[in-house]
Structure 1
């Protein structure tokens, strides 16, 4: 369900709001603090690069969406986005937050093992970083293309919710989730923590479950989605699923 974000409303403001900028800054500061408190050290190359990647992703995403589809920022920051949210999506959000917390808890424990987070970034790390950046680009591109890209799953009737089949959505039906999964899957490699792969796998599974439930909801409630699904057959992975 993607759109080109080129309407009058989307063009009306191409500057990130102060609240959006502060939110991104706050998240980056808190994440940095938590990560290095858990690591119990500041002299940690992988950690600083990881924080740099996350911060860059957040800032570039904010600027790009503000320039090309600012309506998404306003809608995602509005309490109106909670209207009509599915109960299962609220539960999903809670489980996802717990999964993210589990990643850093497991990471903290893994640092205490002989292989936890050791060694400078090498070829494997570079592959992980490439996956992260690719996911970041896909996620941001999907947000730019889709004026209905909200944090919650619902039919946005007040905004004239419609099926969009351009941009990334011409290839798979839920490209934003593909990008998010790629960023998640790169985390164990970027942090140098093998055991974080366990909570990351759970988070990826949660994304797959949300994809299934959201796709069913869109088939049932969004006019034209069933026809779109016959043209773009795959949810997340072309020629696979």
Structure 2
């Protein structure tokens, strides 16, 4: 395995371990089948995407590993990503607390549906990575970047965000928490803020992007916005 692959899997292992610690500490128990199933789904999908990038597009994998608030160049994006990071942590902790205090109950079929949403979100991310090698974790324009208008980019201008939104909605459902769904109300404005700021940067720095906006009207959800 390459050095990049080792770093990628080490980072993934750290993320999964931290998520497990946050989730089961908040739940106060390891007897939380929804948590174990969600972690299995999340880990498996992450491994599949990482292996695909290692084989097909290591440059994109390298770009994806440079993420987080401190990797952003713009102050506004650093602030947005700081809030998004807190929101992601809350999406794990709040369902755990919900489990601890038995605040809500979801039938197993609904929990399974939540995991399906998480997988659909990952599938959307997979398609985006297959279509564009410029889907970095930070907002930037590479020197050789071009406008991608095929595949999922022919449907909405920001398919990565659309896929992420599906995944984020699925997470609290997969963890059996109705209360966790309320966090989406707080995270969605951050997602929109980041998306609009990214569009501003692309309009100014990526040749052909304005023409692409004219061809693909919808930003996030087709026929809505």
TM-score of the superposed pair, with normalisation by structure 1: 0.83
- Cα RMSD of the aligned pairs, angstroms, is 2.3
- Contact map agreement 1:65 1:140 (CA 8 A) in 2: no
- Contact map agreement 1:16 1:63 (CA 8 A) in 2: no
Q: Partners in 1 of 2:65 and 2:114 — Cα distance?
A: 31
Aligned counterpart, 1:128: 114
Q: Which has the higher contact order (CA 8 A, sep 6+)?
A: 1
- Contact map agreement 1:69 1:145 (CA 8 A) in 2: no
Residues 80-116 of structure 1 show CA distances to partners (whole Å, capped at 9, x for unaligned) of xx88822211111111111122333433432343444
Residues 179-231 of structure 1 show CA distances to partners (whole Å, capped at 9, x for unaligned) of 11001001221111111112232122211221112112211221110001111
Over 3 Å counting, the alpha-carbon distance change for 1:109 and 1:146 in structure 2 is same
Over 3 Å counting, the alpha-carbon distance change for 1:15 and 1:170 in structure 2 is farther
Aligned counterpart, 1:66: 54
Decide which of 91, 98, 105 is 1:103's aligned counterpart. Answer: 91
- Contact map agreement 1:84 1:155 (CA 8 A) in 2: no
Mapping of residues 136-215 of structure 1, within 5 Å: 136-157=122-143, 160-215=144-199
Comparing 137-146 with 125-134, greater Cα deviation is found at 125-134
Q: Which runs of 5+ in 2 are unaligned?
A: none
Aligned counterpart, 2:7: 19
Residues 115-167 of structure 1 show CA distances to partners (whole Å, capped at 9, x for unaligned) of 44x56622x2232222221111001211222111111112222xx12211122
TM-score of the superposed pair, with normalisation by structure 2: 0.89
